[in-house]
């Protein structure tokens, strides 16, 4: 049955419905199908996985965005439990059949229907099951963002939902975001699934530029296990209900507060995904400074973040800093051996090409006993920096993924 939710004046033209369709195996029949409807034509932008085996839904969303200079959206349909990836032409036909049903129901063009799927790869998604449950959803106008976030979970242990408020031209603006993800997270564009909605009066062209800017320092700066999903999707929607002046350029100073607000929301959503990493017990921030470029700093940071040896050492609260040195070296990026400085928390570990003479492993180990770990690395060859966020690697990760389909 559809969830009950409170109404929000900033989004009184949106309806959210969730239902248990039986796609996802859960002991308590938790909802696994989400429909977000927009009564009016809303602007939309998106970023997607760069996987060469992307899902049928990802391919559909990309096609929709390219169908017009100013793409619009009337509905977003999301299912969990089945990724509809590597399902061939049947998978594409499934998306088409579901989209045709919704476009007829909403009296809109089929390219205004966006879908997303997450779950097991390689299993066919039954379109008739989806359509049957869409018919069972009630038509009452209710909003339940938390229920929406719950419906798109797979191995997530908690729903990921954040909202922010700001102003454009003195007009109140709200941004709401939900996301899912806890494993198969090493996106080269986004996260597993994320949906961000605002009442701002912004065109799709402006939204796309804003999304790309904010994505680079948020969803594009996290990793759990170095694997990239077939289904990674982040959609940003603007209902355009706010009564502020039209923004024509992304450089307009009136957008400054909105940019900060959007970036903050996306970064916090991304961090929630890392905190919920499969089996994770520690949240790790890796900041690399002194690099020859931002790109180089980020590559080095990811090399450290994706190292199983670094991640397991942190899980075991072992200040084995030699593994960080290893990860810097294998990155292939410029670093000056004699200038590399590593800090675990506030404790300086290396200096002048060797262990620092006053280094205290006891203090470094004490820091690793915390839930939030900070690794700061200066590679001594430039003035650029980047931060990447990850988690530790525990036995629980193996247990979850060895039994994922059960």
H, E, C per residue of the chain = CCCCCCCCHHHCCEEEEEECCCCCCCCCCCCCEEEEEEEEEEEEEEEECCCCCCCHHHHHHHHHHHCCCCCEEEEEEEEEEECCCCCHHHHHHHHHHHHHHHHHHHCCCHHHEEEEEEEECCCCCCHHHHHHHHHHCCCCCCCCHHHHHHHCCCCCCCCEEEEEEEEECCEEEEEEEEEECCCCCCCCCCCCEEEEEECCCCCHHHHHHHHHHHHHCCHHHECCCCCCCCCCEEEEEECCCCCCCCCCCCCCHHHHHHHHHHHHHHHHHHHHHHHCCCCCCCEEEEEEEEECCHHHHHHHHHHHHCCHHHHHHHHCCCCCCHHHHHHHHHCCCCCCCCCCEEEECCEECEECCEECCCCCHHHHHHHHCCCEEEEEEECCCCCEEEEEEEECCCHHHHHHHHCCCC
Q: Catalytic residue at 230?
A: no
Q: How many CB atoms lie within 10 A of CB 147?
A: 21
Q: With beta carbons less than 8 A apart as the criterion, state whether 126 and 90 touch.
A: no
Q: Which of 18, 87, 94, 191 is catalytic?
A: 191
* Active-site amino acid positions: 191
């Amino acid at each position: 049955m559809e969830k009950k939710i409170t109404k929000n004046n900033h989004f009184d033209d949106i309806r959210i419905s969730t239902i248990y369709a039986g796609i996802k195996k859960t002991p308590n029949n938790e909802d696994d199908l989400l429909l977000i409807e927009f009564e009016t034509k809303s602007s939309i932008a998106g970023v997607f996985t760069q996987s060469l085996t992307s899902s049928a839904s990802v391919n559909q969303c990309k096609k929709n965005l390219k169908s017009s200079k100013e793409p619009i959206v009337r509905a977003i349909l999301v299912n969990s439990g089945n990724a509809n990836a590597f399902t061939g032409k049947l998978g594409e036909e499934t998306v088409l059949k579901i989209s045709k049903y919704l476009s007829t129901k909403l009296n809109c063009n089929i390219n205004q229907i966006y879908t997303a799927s997450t779950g097991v790869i390689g299993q066919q998604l039954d379109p008739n099951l989806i359509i049957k449950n869409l018919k069972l959803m009630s038509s009452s106008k209710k909003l339940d963002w938390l229920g929406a976030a719950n419906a798109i979970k797979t191995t997530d242990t908690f729903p990921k939902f954040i909202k922010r408020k700001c102003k454009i031209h003195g007009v109140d603006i709200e941004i709401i975001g939900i996301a899912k993800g806890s494993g198969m997270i090493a996106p080269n564009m986004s996260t597993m699934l994320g949906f961000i909605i605002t009442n701002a009066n912004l065109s799709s062209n402006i939204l796309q530029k804003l999304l790309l800017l904010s994505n680079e320092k948020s969803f594009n700066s996290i990793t759990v296990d170095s694997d990239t999903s077939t289904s990674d999707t982040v959609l940003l929607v603007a209902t355009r209900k706010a009564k502020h002046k039209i923004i024509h350029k992304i450089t307009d100073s009136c957008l400054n507060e909105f940019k900060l607000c959007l970036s903050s929301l996306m970064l916090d959503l991304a961090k929630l995904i890392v905190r919920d990493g499969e089996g994770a017990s520690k949240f790790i921030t890796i900041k690399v400074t002194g690099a020859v470029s931002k790109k180089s700093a980020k590559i080095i940071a990811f090399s450290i973040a994706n190292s199983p040896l670094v991640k397991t050492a942190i899980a075991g609260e072992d200040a084995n800093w030699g593994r960080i040195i290893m990860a810097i070296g294998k990155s292939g990026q410029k670093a000056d051996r004699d200038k590399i400085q590593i800090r675990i928390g506030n404790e300086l570990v290396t200096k002048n090409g060797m262990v620092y003479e006053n280094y205290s492993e006891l203090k470094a180990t004490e820091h690793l006993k915390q839930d939030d770990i900070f690794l700061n690395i200066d590679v001594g060859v430039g003035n650029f920096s980047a931060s990447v966020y990850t988690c530790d690697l525990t036995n629980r990760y193996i247990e979850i993924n060895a039994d994922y389909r059960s």
